[in-house]
Structure 1
Amino acid sequence: MKRVALAFVLAATPALGQDQVTTAPGGILRWLDKMTGETADIELSSGQSAVSGRLTIQLDECRYPTANPASDAFGHLTIREEGAKTPVFSGWMVASSPALSALEHPRYDVWVLRCVTPDQPELDLEPQAPEEDETTAPQEG
């Protein structure tokens, strides 16, 4: 039922006109290991893949509404598990409704957060050094 609803939504998009949806150069995904609680945000260009845990996650394409880039993004993902011959997921995920078409895996969860658009800054994936607080800085005596 969920796949039928997703197919309807995606099939209706081209009927609205090709200028209604823009293809982004990349997207930002979130990965979760349900066993350890570890999460990571992953920024991928279209066609690029990344390894997280035992999964290889590939972003095939990311699209967003042209009139409102900050609104609902949807991405096509191909997700493979180490040792498996066929993908464990291949299809479109909608950022606002990740359960509509979800990766069904006992250990991992992956979902689309947003597309990378010209007006949104890139995701800073580098760890931040803690800022020194005057109350914790050593005092001269």
Structure 2
Amino acid sequence: MKRFIAALLLLAAPAAAQTTIQGDDTVISLGNAPVAESKMRHAASSAAQAVMRGLDKLAGASEDIILTTGENTQFGPLTITMQDCRYPKGNPSGDAFVSLTIVDNSTGKVAFQGWMVASSPALNAMDHPRYDVWAIRCKLDDRTPSVVAGESSPRPIERPEGLGGN
């Protein structure tokens, strides 16, 4: 009976997982059956500027913030400093990763420090009772922001007189 149980345990135990790297692909296999395949990480490029969006939750007002590496920018009582903005090499409109330090000047405490990911703002979000700040994209040149590029107009849209006014 002990031999029978030992044989069942050997048959039921999975083979050790093995990772095989073939060119640009990583294949993780269990025994002979592949269970996961993924592309290796691609190289990233850095940009000198990042486009962030800030929201004052109390006033309901949002503002686009253009940050330059190493410089401080004020948004309400927050001082925002960008260390780096990275994007997939060869795809500047791709997913942005922005390294930030945000200090709340009213309390003197660091409200956020780390990387924000443009495609997943909730992944590593700033936790502040009144303000939200999140990454939009890396900015590669100093051309005027455009809606097509994912940025809002530099000036707010003004409503013509006589339309919907009180």
Q: How does 1:94-109 map to 2 (within 5 A)?
A: 94-109=117-132
Say whether residues 1:86 and 2:109 are aligned partners: yes
Question: Which of 24, 37, 40 does residue 63 from structure 2 map onto?
Answer: 40
Give the drift of 1:129: 8.4
The answer (yes or no) to whether the contact 2:95–2:119 under 8 Å persists in 1 is yes
Equivalents in 2 of 1:30, 1:55: separation in Å? 13
Say whether residues 1:127 and 2:127 are aligned partners: no
Equivalents in 1 of 2:77, 2:113: separation in Å? 16
Hey, which of these two has a bigger chunk of helix by percent? 1
Structure-2-length-normalised TM-score: 0.62
Structure whose CA Rg is larger:
2
Hey, which bits of structure 1, 4+ residues long, moved more than 2 A?
A: 83-86, 120-130
| 1:108-129 CA distance string (max 9 Å, x none) | 10001000124x8443764268
Say whether residues 1:72 and 2:100 are aligned partners: no
The answer (yes or no) to whether the contact 2:77–2:104 under 8 Å persists in 1 is yes
Structure-1-length-normalised TM-score: 0.72
Say whether residues 1:116 and 2:116 are aligned partners: no
Moved more, 95-104 or 58-67: 58-67
* RMSD between superposed Cα atoms in Å: 2.7
Equivalents in 2 of 1:122, 1:102: separation in Å? 28
Hey, which of these two has a bigger chunk of strand by percent? 2
Equivalents in 2 of 1:88, 1:53: separation in Å? 13
Equivalents in 2 of 1:121, 1:66: separation in Å? 21
Question: Which of 51, 65, 74 does residue 28 from structure 1 map onto?
Answer: 51
Q: How many residues in Structure 1 have an aligned counterpart in Structure 2? A: 117
AA partner of residue 123 (structure 1): P
| 1:27-86 CA distance string (max 9 Å, x none) | 010000100011110111111121111111111110000121101001001000113333
Q: Which runs of 5+ in 1 are unaligned?
A: 1-14, 133-141
Greater RCO structure (CA 8 Å; 6+ sep): 1
Give the drift of 1:16: 3.7
